[in-house]
Amino acid sequence: MKALERIYRRRVPLDTITTPELARSLADASRESGRQVGALVHRSGVVDYVMVGSPSGIMLPEIGRLRAAKGRFRALRLIHTHLFNEPLNQDDFTDLTRLRLDMVAAILLTPEGEPRAMTWAYNIPKPENAVPGTRGYEVVDPVPWGRPQPNFGELIEALESEFTRIEKNRPLDAKDGRAMLIHVGEKRPGAARLAQVRMKELGALAVTAGVQVVDSVIQLRDQIDPKYVLGKGKLESVLIKAIDLDVETLIFDQNLTPTQASTIAGRTDLRVLDRTQLILDIFAQRAESKDGKLQVELAQLKYTLPRLGQKDDSLSRLTGGIGGRGPGETKLEIGRRRARERLERLEKQLKDQAKQRAERRRRRQSDDVPVIAIIGYTNAGKSTLLNALTNAGVVAENKLFATLDTRSRRLSLPQGNTVIVSDTVGFIRDMPKDLFAAFRATFEEARDANLLLELVDASDEEERTHKQETEKLIRELDLDDVPKIRVYNKADRIDPSLAEALGQEPNTLVVSALDHNSLRVLIDAIESRFRPPVSA
């Protein structure tokens, strides 16, 4: 205890990593305890925490989950002992990057417990177009004890200003968009296959939300871990991978309880979202009418409210970026009290709004270019078809365009007609019930369309055979009085005889969005419906 207390009294000037006195105190405590001993030293020079670990490792205290401001470090450096002359290890690097410490330094001890050398690592900015996996830290190999140390304060200042410069130039949310998908299931027959299917769907949803999926992880367990969902060890490995791949967000396939979400976020310091939040984020991007926006924000708040921690730190985790995006240009309002007030206001506005549907009808009449909406399940190929039809596959990358409207394209037909083709959110399997009103709201444009293309993934047996479900959904979404063509997509992936059989159904076409020639029939079918009036 005495040795530890002495450590707390040490002061370390900013121009050096550590002082001989602090190193000596740490070494003494290590020798007496036979364990690693560490100090978290604040830039002000005081020792904020002293920790005693095991012979081979050390656990840092919860030093606050609040992420350090963008481009800044935590103003704390870890100085600790290594008993067996071993270099810095993965745990050290994880703490360094995860907690954005100023530095992690290890004092390597001789068998007699005297400082022998020091090795240290610090965070460095990754170059703009670094390949995934590029390390975000620099390691300095052990330097014999007693050699001059670099000027710590100057080094950190230079690094921070470099980080700030890069943060400023980084396109907005580019990093927020990097996500890892996680599915955890219970071991039972068919679980592996089901997990694959669900992962595919989740991936498609993520893409729809504009998320860059960097990796996906499936874990089958005897039992879902009530606290961490994944096993604790697995969660650690996910975290290490996430740091390596510069991932900002974990997206879980299963819905998380508020406690699970905050436990995992606290442990990893990453943004944690579940499937419902991802879906809500898609809706938020797609809602267009006032009514739709209200519906979406209402659903978001209802889901988010119980997930707001008492402390303010949930604020940083939820504002902005995926999952924190409100409809339109707004940010999802956060903060318990404000959220509750906003909820009440929204509910009232929605009631008033119900009468104002005429706004929509007016819009439709003022624009006489026919609108064709593509509907169908996620992953059916809606976006691919839209791109193929308009041959405008580049627009998605163009931020300027993206803010206008990514989902509607003008298409000039060979015979001179112009139509607008628009993509929809798409049907989502296992849609959380609470989201239906918001989901419905995103179909307003489709409801006003002149023609629906109901896209079916012909290679997906489930989708092909569950026509009744689709019909029911179309009724519930009020889409049943819009003329419709059923289009089986992905013909390239099915047996030609099946393709032929499907094509026999009335009002049905079979295409492959990847094969431009096959789209001819579709364009012809559209054209025959919107033949221009023969001018006199």
Per the listing, tokens 């925490």 go with 49
Residue 406 interacts with ligand GDP (CB under 6 A): yes or no: no
If you write DSSP's letter for every residue of 195-231 in order, what string do you get?
Answer: HHHHHHHHHHHHHHTT-EEEEEEEEEESS-BTTTBS-
CA–CA separation, 52 vs 26, rounded Å? 10
* Token pair in block for residue 17: 């990593």
**CB closer to Mg ion out of 108 and 380:** 380
Residue with tokens 């039992």, as numbered in its chain: 223
Interacting residues with ligand GDP between 189 and 218 (CB under 6 A): 204, 207-208
Count of residues that bind ligand GDP according to CB under 6 A: 18
- Residues in touch with Mg ion (CB under 5 A): 208, 382-383
Q: How many CA atoms lie within 13 A of 454 on its CB side?
A: 18
Which option in Mg ion, ligand GDP, none does residue 381 bind, with CB closer than 5 to 8 A by kind?
ligand GDP
Q: Give how far Cα 296 sits from Cα of 299, 333, 347, 376, 378, Å.
A: 5, 13, 11, 20, 19
Cβ proximity to ligand GDP: between 295 and 489 the closer is 489
Strand partners, 144: 117
Tokens 């290490």 belong to which residue? 240
**To the nearest whole angstrom, how small is the minimum distance from the Cβ of residue 208 to Mg ion?**
5
Q: Tell me: does residue 280 bind ligand GDP (CB under 6 A).
A: no
Q: How far is the CB of 83 from ligand GDP (least distance, A)?
A: 52
Q: Does 380 bind ligand GDP (CB under 6 A)?
A: yes
Q: Which is nearer to Mg ion, 377 or 488 (CB)?
A: 377
Site for ligand GDP (CB under 6 A): which residue of 38, 71, 324, 381?
381
Nearer to ligand GDP, 117 or 487 (CB): 487
513 interacts with ligand GDP by CB under 6 A: yes
Residue nearest to Mg ion according to CB distances in the complex: 383
Select 98 or 429, whichever has its Cβ closest to ligand GDP: 429
CB of 371 to ligand GDP, least distance (A): 18
Contact criterion met (CB below 8 Å) for 94 and 240: yes
Strand partners for 452: 373, 484
Q: Is 489 in the site for ligand GDP (CB under 6 A)?
A: yes
Nearer to ligand GDP, 19 or 470 (CB): 470
407 and 486 in contact (C-beta within 8 Å)?
A: no
- Kindly state whether residue 490 participates in binding ligand GDP, applying the rule CB under 6 A: yes
Using CB under 6 A as the binding rule, whether residue 378 contacts ligand GDP is answered as: yes
CB 371 within 8 A of CB 480: no
Element (H, E) at 20: helix 20-33
Q: Binding residues for ligand GDP, per CB under 6 A?
A: 204, 207-208, 378-384, 426, 489-490, 492-493, 512-514
